[in-house]
Amino acid sequence: MKAAPPFLFATALSGAIAVGLAGIPAMAQDAPITIGFHAPLSGDYAEYGNNFHEAITLHVDDLNAAGGVAGRMIEIIESDDRSDSRESSAVAQRYVDNDDILAVIGSFASTPSMAAAPIYQRAGLVQLCPSCSHPDYTGIGEYMFRNTTTQEVEAPLLADYVVETLGAETIAVVYRQDDWGLSASGNFIEQAEEHGAEIVLNEAFLETERDFRPLITELASLEPDVLHVAMFYTEAAVLAQQLQSAGLDIPVVTTTSMFNPQFIVLGEDAVEGYIVPATFFPGNPAEHVQAFVAQYEERWDETPDSFAAIAYDAVGILAGAMQHVVDSGGELTREAIKDAIFAMPPYDGVSGVAAFNEQGDVVKEITWLTIEGGAFVPYTHAE
């Protein structure tokens, strides 16, 4: 069975250093442990990639301050793949050719990550994608892991909520025309229809689309009970503004990709009342979540979103797997890290407990939020 390691605070790792050092050759004790990281650090989706960068930097700095992994510092090699499949594949080839790199975090979107995955699989290099939710991603090989729920898992849960809890009988669906959007919308629609709901609109749009007026005209004529948007927050905020300008007031349920403070910044009062699912909520009172939020806010002067949380946990998963290899007296290799992720128990991170199945997928609980007064707050449906 694939599983991730338990949550490791920096102090927990430092406490295991003395044990780990005994199994490491003297010449290797001072050599850094190198992890590759690639994501969109420029372009339309740079906000997501930079959230990854901030969270990864924070966790690596904390671990290194506490002694690293078995006395070895963690070093990150970072690349901007612009969320482009060709660039992501080129980065992957550079990383597999670098023998110092023992594991990789990246990319952000499913499409460029899946383009890179066969390269990592052939080289036997772990690719831990924090945010890949396309169901086919981990099926590419045993070296592919993810720290977010697939749309095969998430989308049906959202459909259950929309139909059973919100009582929607007619639903309009708008989605991005890419691998992620097709999976998100398809799985949502299948589950909603199984519950007896009618899908009155199923509309795709290109990621560059910014004029939703024809769609809004159609929505006004259909008057669905709920509009479900499988989008990223940049384009979803534009749609929200245009819906408001048209005077169209339809309950909107998003995907977890919309839980980001920038969605409120860009959407302003047009996104008030939107219902937003999340696996991470900074208001969670758990001690390790509050410690992470406080550190992140102090370091970066902003509140972390779910993407920052899953990237932060990606570092913890890999560090925990590496520590497990060393504690077991093994050699720290690419294959050993993969095997350690298989062997470890569920990882209790800031983004929730990541219970990995044998294919490298996780299942996490959904927290329902709404936007009220320009902030995300817990949502409870009024009967």
Is 233 part of any domain? yes
The 3-class secondary structure across the chain, one letter per residue, is CCCCCCCCCHHHHHHCHHHHHCCCCHHHCCCCEEEEEEECCCCCCHHHHHHHHHHHHHHHHHHHHCCCECCECEEEEEEECCCCHHHHHHHHHHHHHCCCEEEEEECCCHHHHHHHHHHHHHHCCEEEECCCCCCCCHHHCCCEEECCCCHHHHHHHHHHHHHHHCCCCEEEEEEECCHHHHHHHHHHHHHHHHCCCEEEEEEEECCCCCCCHHHHHHHHHHCCCEEEEECCHHHHHHHHHHHHHCCCCCCEECCHHHCCHHHHHHHHHHHCCCEEEECCCCCCCCHHHHHHHHHHHHHHCCCCCHHHHHHHHHHHHHHHHHHHHHHCCCCCCHHHHHHHHHHCCCEEECCEEEEECCCCCEECCCEEEEECCCCEEECCCCC
Residue 381: inside a domain: no
Say whether both 209 and 333 belong to one domain.
Answer: no
Residue 14, domain CATH:
3.40.50.2300
Instruction: Kindly state whether residues 162 and 239 are assigned to the same domain.
Output: yes
Per-residue pLDDT at 383: 65
Verify that 108 and 257 share a domain, yes or no: no
Question: Does some domain include residue 131?
Answer: yes
User: pLDDT at position 5, please?
Assistant: 36
Does one domain contain both 212 and 298? no
Last residue of a domain, one of 260, 278, 296: 278
Same domain membership, residue 165 and residue 88: no
Residue 41 and residue 87 in one domain:
yes
pLDDT number for residue 82: 96
pTM for this model (two decimals): 0.73
User: Which domain covers residue 183, as residue numbers?
Assistant: 152-278
Q: Say if residue 195 is in the same domain as residue 248.
A: yes
Domain boundary among 233, 248, 278: 278
Residue 4 in domain: no
Question: Does residue 5 sit within a domain?
Answer: no
Q: Are residues 172 and 274 in the same domain?
A: yes
pLDDT (0 to 100) of residue 279: 86
Q: Are residues 123 and 36 in the same domain?
A: yes
Please indicate, yes or no, whether residues 249 and 299 belong to a single structural domain of this protein: no
Pick the last residue of a domain from 278, 311, 344: 278
Determine, yes or no, domain membership for 225.
yes
Looking at the structure, tell me whether residues 144 and 156 fall in a common domain. Answer: no
377 occurs within a structural domain: no
If one counts the domains in the chain, the total is 2
pLDDT at residue 347 in the model? 82
- Whether 21 and 134 map to the same domain: the answer is yes
Query: Does any domain span residue 371?
Result: no
| Model pLDDT, residue 30 | 75
pLDDT in tens, the chain (383 residues): 333 333 333 333 433 333 343 444 434 567 999 999 999 999 989 999 999 999 999 999 999 999 999 899 999 999 999 999 999 999 999 999 999 999 999 999 999 999 999 999 999 999 999 999 888 899 999 999 999 888 888 899 999 999 999 999 999 999 999 888 998 999 999 999 999 999 999 999 988 889 999 999 999 999 999 999 999 899 999 999 999 999 999 999 999 889 888 899 999 999 999 999 998 999 888 899 999 999 999 999 999 988 999 999 999 999 999 999 999 999 999 999 999 998 887 888 999 887 778 888 887 788 899 999 999 999 988 76
